[in-house]
Chains A and B, each alone.
Chain A
Amino acid sequence: MRLQRLKVEQLRQFRAPFEIDGIEPGLNLFVGENEAGKSTLVRAIRAAFFERHRSSTVEDLRPWGETAAAPTVELDFMVGDTAFQLRKSFLQRKRCELKYGARTLDGEDAEQYLAELLGFSFSVKGASRPEHWGIPGLLWIEQGQGHIIKSSVENAADHLRKALDASVGEVASTQGDALIAKVRAERDLLLTPKDDKPRGELKRALDERDELQVQLAELDGRIEAYRRQVDQLAALKAEHALEQAARPWDALRLQQQAAEQALAASEVLAQQLDAEKASLQRVEERLQMVEQQLAGFEEDRRALAQREAGLSEAAQRLEAATAIEARRASEQTQAEAACGLTAAALERARQDDLRRDLAERAADADTRVRELDTLLQRAVAEQARIEQLRQQAAAAAIDPADVERLRSLAAELEALRIRQQVVATRIRFRLADGARVTLAGEALQGEGERMLTSAASIEIPGGHLEVVPGGDALGALARDEADARAACDALLQRCGVVTVADAEARLSGHRQALQDGAQAARTLASLAPKGIDALKADRVGLLARIEAVQQQMAALPVDDRAAGDQGMTASLAEVETRHEIARAQAATIGTQLAQATQARLVAHEQHAAAIREHALLQVRLGAADRQSREQDAGRQLLAARAERQALLASIASKSEAVAGTQPDILRQSVERFRRSADLAERAHHDRELEITRLNGMLQEAGAQGFEEARAALAVRLEATRRRQRELDLRARALHLLLERLEASRRERTRQLRAPLQARIDHYIRLLFPKAALEIGDDLLPGLLTRPAMQGNESGAVSELSHGAREQMGVLTRLAYADLLQEAGRPTLLILDDALVHSDTQRLDRMKRVLFDAAQRHQVLLFTCHPAAWRDMGVVARTIMRG
Chain B
Amino acid sequence: MPRFLHTADWQIGRQYSQFPPDDGVPLAEARLEAVGTIARLATDHAVDAVLVAGDVFDAQAVSERTIRRLFAQLAGFAGPWLMIPGNHDAALAESVWTCARRIGAVPPNVHLALEPGVLDFAALGFVALAAPLTQRHTYNDLTEWFDTATTPPGLLRIGLAHGCVQGQLAEDIDSPNPIGADRARQSRLDYLALGDWHGCRRMDERTWYSGTPEPDRFRDNDPGHVLLVEIDAPGALPVVTRVATGRYCWRTLEAPLSVASDVEQLAATLAAARPSDVLSLQVAGEVDLPGLVRLREAIGLAEAGVRHLQQDLSALRLVPTAEDIAGLDADGYLGELIAELRDAQSQRTDPEAARVASHALTLLATLLLEGRGVESPA
Q: Is the CB of A737 within 8 A of B377?
A: no
Q: Is the CB of B63 within 8 A of A699?
A: no
Is B16 an interface residue, CB under 8 A from the partner? Answer: yes
Contacts of B360 in A (CB 8 A): 732-734, 736-737, 740
Given contacts A716-B21, A747-B333, contact A226 B363 (CB under 8 A): no
Q: Quick one: which of A704, A710, A715, A716 has the most chain B CB within 10 A?
A: A715
Q: Is the CB of B331 within 8 A of A732?
A: no
In the complex, what's the smallest C-beta–C-beta distance from A495 to chain B, in angstroms?
Answer: 176
Residues A411-455 near B (CB distance < 8 A): none
Using an 8 Å CB-CB cutoff, how does the interface string of B301-344 with A read, 1 for contact, 0 for none?
Answer: 00000000000000000000000000001111111110011000
In the complex, what's the smallest C-beta–C-beta distance from B60 to chain A, in angstroms?
Answer: 6
Closest to B370 in A: A182
Q: Quick one: which of B14, B17, B64, B65 has the most chain A CB within 10 A?
A: B17
Is A741 an interface residue, CB under 8 A from the partner? Answer: yes
Given contacts A178-B371, A737-B360, A747-B333, contact A708 B93 (CB under 8 A): no
In the complex, what's the smallest C-beta–C-beta distance from B345 to chain A, in angstroms?
Answer: 10
Complex: how many Å from CA A236 to CA B93? 9
Closest to B62 in A: A708
Is B19 an interface residue, CB under 8 A from the partner? Answer: yes
Is A642 an interface residue, CB under 8 A from the partner? Answer: no
Using an 8 Å CB-CB cutoff, how does the interface string of B1-19 with A read, 1 for contact, 0 for none?
Answer: 0000000000001111111
Is A305 an interface residue, CB under 8 A from the partner? Answer: no
Is A718 an interface residue, CB under 8 A from the partner? Answer: yes
Q: Is the CB of A712 within 8 A of B367?
A: no
Is B24 an interface residue, CB under 8 A from the partner? Answer: yes
Using an 8 Å CB-CB cutoff, how does the interface string of A700-734 with B read, 1 for contact, 0 for none?
Answer: 01111111111110111111000000000110111
Stretch at the interface among B41-49, B94-102, B165-173: B94-102
Contacts of A619 in B (CB 8 A): none
Select one of B13, B16, B63 contacting A715, CB under 8 A: B16
Select one of B18, B329, B332 contacting A718, CB under 8 A: B18
Is A171 an interface residue, CB under 8 A from the partner? Answer: yes
Contacts of A229 in B (CB 8 A): 94
Is A179 an interface residue, CB under 8 A from the partner? Answer: yes
In the complex, what's the smallest C-beta–C-beta distance from B323 to chain A, in angstroms?
Answer: 16
Contacts of A237 in B (CB 8 A): 93
Select one of A174, A707, A714, A740 contacting B62, CB under 8 A: A707
Using an 8 Å CB-CB cutoff, how does the interface string of A223-238 with B read, 1 for contact, 0 for none?
Answer: 1001101110110110
Q: Is the CB of B94 within 8 A of A699?
A: yes
Select one of B58, B92, B332 contacting A748, CB under 8 A: B332
Complex: how many Å from CA A548 to CA B18? 177
Q: Is the CB of B61 within 8 A of A701?
A: yes
Select one of B61, B92, B377 contacting A234, CB under 8 A: B92
Complex: how many Å from CA A704 to CA B65? 10
In the complex, what's the smallest C-beta–C-beta distance from A468 to chain B, in angstroms?
Answer: 184
Complex: how many Å from CA A171 to CA B377? 18
Contacts of A186 in B (CB 8 A): 367
Is B194 an interface residue, CB under 8 A from the partner? Answer: no
Is B261 an interface residue, CB under 8 A from the partner? Answer: no
Is A64 an interface residue, CB under 8 A from the partner? Answer: no
Q: Is the CB of B17 within 8 A of A718?
A: yes
Q: Quick one: which of B21, B335, B378 has the most chain A CB within 10 A?
A: B378
Complex: how many Å from CA A206 to CA B62? 29
Number of interface residues of A (CB under 8 A): 61
Tier of interface size on chain B: 35 or more
In the complex, what's the smallest C-beta–C-beta distance from A80 to chain B, in angstroms?
Answer: 12
Given contacts A699-B102, A747-B333, contact A711 B17 (CB under 8 A): yes
Residues B347-378 near A (CB distance < 8 A): 355-357, 359-360, 362-364, 367-368, 371, 374, 376-378
Closest to B364 in A: A737
Complex: how many Å from CA A202 to CA B334? 27
Select one of A175, A230, A707, A711 contacting B334, CB under 8 A: A175
Using an 8 Å CB-CB cutoff, how does the interface string of A727-760 with B read, 1 for contact, 0 for none?
Answer: 0011011101100110011011000000000000
Residues A743-799 near B (CB distance < 8 A): 744-745, 747-748
Is B258 an interface residue, CB under 8 A from the partner? Answer: no
Is A806 an interface residue, CB under 8 A from the partner? Answer: no
Complex: how many Å from CA A54 to CA B4? 87
Q: Quick one: which of A227, A708, A716 has the most chain B CB within 10 A?
A: A708
Q: Is the CB of B20 within 8 A of A719?
A: yes
Contacts of A719 in B (CB 8 A): 20-21
Q: Is the CB of B337 within 8 A of A702?
A: no
In the complex, what's the smallest C-beta–C-beta distance from B303 to chain A, in angstroms?
Answer: 15
Q: Is the CB of B94 within 8 A of A698?
A: yes
Q: Is the CB of A740 within 8 A of B340?
A: yes
Q: Is the CB of B334 within 8 A of A173?
A: yes
Is B59 an interface residue, CB under 8 A from the partner? Answer: yes
Is B221 an interface residue, CB under 8 A from the partner? Answer: no
Q: Is the CB of B356 within 8 A of A233?
A: no
Given contacts A711-B59, A717-B17, A740-B337, contact A179 B329 (CB under 8 A): no
Contacts of A705 in B (CB 8 A): 61-66
In the complex, what's the smallest C-beta–C-beta distance from A5 to chain B, in angstroms?
Answer: 24
Q: Is the CB of B92 within 8 A of A231?
A: yes
Q: Is the CB of B61 within 8 A of A233?
A: no
Q: Is the CB of B337 within 8 A of A741?
A: yes
Closest to A746 in B: B333
In the complex, what's the smallest C-beta–C-beta distance from A193 to chain B, in angstroms?
Answer: 18
Contacts of A400 in B (CB 8 A): none
Q: Is the CB of B59 within 8 A of A729?
A: no
Closest to B15 in A: A711
Closest to B333 in A: A744
Q: Is the CB of A173 within 8 A of B332?
A: yes
Contacts of A714 in B (CB 8 A): 15, 17
Closest to A708 in B: B62
Contacts of A325 in B (CB 8 A): none
Residues A222-274 near B (CB distance < 8 A): 223, 226-227, 229-231, 233-234, 236-237
Is A116 an interface residue, CB under 8 A from the partner? Answer: yes
Closest to A112 in B: B377
In the complex, what's the smallest C-beta–C-beta distance from A729 to chain B, in angstroms?
Answer: 5
Complex: how many Å from CA A659 to CA B14? 74
In the complex, what's the smallest C-beta–C-beta distance from A7 to chain B, in angstroms?
Answer: 26
Contacts of A716 in B (CB 8 A): 21
Is A551 an interface residue, CB under 8 A from the partner? Answer: no
In the complex, what's the smallest C-beta–C-beta distance from A698 to chain B, in angstroms?
Answer: 4
Is A9 an interface residue, CB under 8 A from the partner? Answer: no
Complex: how many Å from CA A215 to CA B60? 19
Contacts of A712 in B (CB 8 A): 15
Using an 8 Å CB-CB cutoff, how does the interface string of B100-143 with A read, 1 for contact, 0 for none?
Answer: 00100000000000000000000000000000000000000000
Q: Is the CB of B331 within 8 A of A172?
A: yes
Q: Is the CB of A179 within 8 A of B61?
A: no
Closest to A703 in B: B64
Select one of B58, B336, B367, B374 contacting A711, CB under 8 A: B58
Given contacts A702-B60, A708-B66, A737-B364, contact A179 B334 (CB under 8 A): yes
Complex: how many Å from CA A233 to CA B329? 72
Using an 8 Å CB-CB cutoff, how does the interface string of A95-124 with B read, 1 for contact, 0 for none?
Answer: 000000000000000000100110000000
Q: Is the CB of A172 within 8 A of B15?
A: no
Contacts of B13 in A (CB 8 A): 707-708, 711
Closest to B378 in A: A116
Contacts of B94 in A (CB 8 A): 229-230, 233, 694-695, 698-699, 702
Q: Is the CB of B60 within 8 A of A230?
A: yes
Contacts of B335 in A (CB 8 A): 171, 173
In the complex, what's the smallest C-beta–C-beta distance from A715 to chain B, in angstroms?
Answer: 4
Contacts of B64 in A (CB 8 A): 703, 705
Known A117-B377, A174-B376; further 12 A-B contacts with Cβ < 8 A: A116-B376, A117-B378, A172-B333, A174-B331, A236-B93, A702-B98, A719-B20, A729-B356, A729-B359, A732-B360, A733-B363, A736-B341
**Which 4 A-B residue pairs are closest in the complex by CB-CB distance?**
A705-B63, A173-B332, A707-B59, A744-B333
13 pairs from A and B in contact (CB 8 Å cutoff)? A113-B377, A171-B335, A173-B332, A229-B94, A233-B92, A234-B92, A702-B96, A703-B64, A706-B61, A707-B59, A732-B356, A733-B357, A733-B363
